[in-house]
Amino acid sequence: MSSNSFGAKAGHTQASLAKEMNVHLRTVTRWEIGEVIIPRVVELALRYIAEHANKQQRR
């Protein structure tokens, strides 16, 4: 699962996603390129952010 796909679905850049998740930009980059595995709790947070953004767009 790629953070990039979640970021794009939620209308986030790597930088804005890093800020939203309160992590360093390099961390998001490492998730995206597969250098490190995205922790399960982060994966769930990314899903929440993407779903929340989609709901906001529908309004």
pTM over 0.75: no
Query: Which one, of 42, 51, 45, lies nearest residue 10 by Cα?
Result: 51
Residue 35 identity:
E
Condensed to tens digits (0 to 9), the pLDDT of residues 12-25 reads 888 988 998 899 99
pLDDT exceeds 80 at position 5: no
| Residues 17/23, Cβ–Cβ less than 8 Å | no
Q: What is the pLDDT of residue 41?
A: 93
Residue 44 domain boundaries? 3-58
Total count of domains within the chain:
1
Q: Are 58 and 23 in contact (CB under 8 A)?
A: no
Q: Convert the pLDDT of each residue in 22-55 to its tens digit.
A: 999 999 999 989 999 999 998 898 888 888 876 6
The reported pLDDT for the residue numbered 24 is: 95
